[in-house]
A = this chain, B = another copy of it.
Amino acid sequence: MTDANQTTGLQLRSTIRKSGELELSLAEVALPEPGPDQVLVKIEATPINPSDLGPLLGPADMASAKASGSGPGIKVTAQVPAAALPSLATRLDQPMPVGNEGAGTVIKAGSSDAAQALKGKTVSMVGGAMYAQYRLLKATDCQKLPAGTTAAEGASWFVNPLTALGMTETMKREGHKALVHTAAASNLGQMLNRICLEDGIGLVNIVRSPEQAKLLRGIGAKHVVDSSAPSFTDDLTQALVETGATIAFDAIGGGKLASQILTAMEIAINKTAKEYSRYGSAIHKQVYIYGGLNTGPIELTRNYGQAWGVGGWLLTPFLQKIGRDGQTPLRQRVVNELKTTFASHYTRTISLTEVLDLKNIATYNKRATGEKFLINPNKG
């Protein structure tokens, strides 16, 4: 049976029940015929990004996870703390597909020219429900990859690249001239470092170990500050003086780091200030939290005046804000530089069934820097 004759495919589903139970399973779903403007894509590569873990696992306590069944009948259950249920009201008891982005081969195409032009081609996609063997979507929502680019190379074309470009864009649009990035040795951090080197933007990379510092320096990073070093605060302040960075993107969230960054920014600004400002410097200092490597509370010790802000930052609202016109040059740059600036590295490639393996869950749920899984839903 060829792919074009396939009538059903597996799709990963995440359900949180009113009773407080998370259930992960694989559903066998019927494959719809493409409409005139649609294509059916056989998904060959889709990454597990930190931003997929929220939809996938919710706030469940994965230490309590249990597995049953095997093969496509595998099921994982875990407990969700009762306190978290009110904020999940709108997804309770609804099986949800997962997976932001992916890439694969177009195996069926609708009658339109745009759809027919993609037949047999390798394409990248974004839009959810990618942890599945097949995905139906509009031809115009597919990004055709250059010849010689594999699905694995094109799988992470959207979330990390546009997040990294979104950071430098946000920096410029909000009037800052350099930026700080935390957990900077990550795939995303390395990408951001390459962008900043190319574009001549000052970047302060905060990492959490000497090994990560070495890794970043090895790929040309100019300002690398290790938060595990006793001289962290002084090193950070010095890097802020040198770059003039007044905006930070923080993947960690919980703890004191956001506050430490604001404090160091204020000290750096005051080192060049000419007169006393009684409410602290008038220069706005901003930390955007875009991740939750530490899901504990954020602790802000206000010793940086009143011109500061801390807030959530997310790719989708940013893209909505800049509109299609703002997005087009960013997307084009990603496709042009997919094997260089925007290359991703994976530690393992797993099947859909292996996504539900408890040992694998424990590994990818750690969100450890340098550890990244790619799913091939059609892996045998």
| Cα distance A297–B312 in the bound complex, in angstroms | 19
- Which listed residue, B270, B271, B314, touches A279 by the CB 8 Å rule? B314
| Cα distance A91–B274 in the bound complex, in angstroms | 10
Q: Is the Cβ of A308 less than 8 Å from the Cβ of B312?
A: yes
Contact code string A258-272 (vs B, CB < 8 Å = 1, else 0)? 010001001100110
Does A310 count as interface, using CB distance less than 8 angstroms?
yes
Q: Is the Cβ of B308 less than 8 Å from the Cβ of A277?
A: no
Interface residues on A, range: 35 or more
- Which listed residue, B274, B278, B314, B316, touches A54 by the CB 8 Å rule? B278
| Cα distance A88–B122 in the bound complex, in angstroms | 59
Q: Contacts A311-B311, A312-B307: A55 and B302 contacting too (C-beta < 8 A)?
A: no
Q: Contacts A278-B54, A310-B309: A87 and B270 contacting too (C-beta < 8 A)?
A: yes
Question: Considering the complex, which residues of chain A in the window 242-293 have a beta carbon less than 8 Å from any beta carbon of chain B?
Answer: 253-254, 259, 263, 266-267, 270-271, 273-280, 282, 289-290, 292
Q: Is the Cβ of A89 less than 8 Å from the Cβ of B311?
A: no
| Cα distance A309–B289 in the bound complex, in angstroms | 10
| Cα distance A84–B305 in the bound complex, in angstroms | 12
CB distance from A325 to the nearest CB of B (A): 21
CB distance from A261 to the nearest CB of B (A): 14
Q: Is the Cβ of B309 less than 8 Å from the Cβ of A277?
A: no
Q: Is the Cβ of B303 less than 8 Å from the Cβ of A90?
A: no
| Cα distance A89–B307 in the bound complex, in angstroms | 17
| Cα distance A259–B273 in the bound complex, in angstroms | 33
- Which listed residue, B54, B55, B302, B313, touches A298 by the CB 8 Å rule? B302
Across the two chains, which residue of chain B brings its CB closest to A280? B87
Q: Contacts A96-B276, A297-B259, A309-B311: A304 and B87 contacting too (C-beta < 8 A)?
A: yes
| Cα distance A44–B379 in the bound complex, in angstroms | 84
Binding site for B on A (CB under 8 A): 54-55, 84, 86-91, 94, 96, 253-254, 259, 263, 266-267, 270-271, 273-280, 282, 289-290, 292, 295, 297-314, 316-317
The 6 closest A-B pairs by CB, nearest first: A309-B311, A306-B312, A91-B276, A90-B276, A298-B300, A306-B314
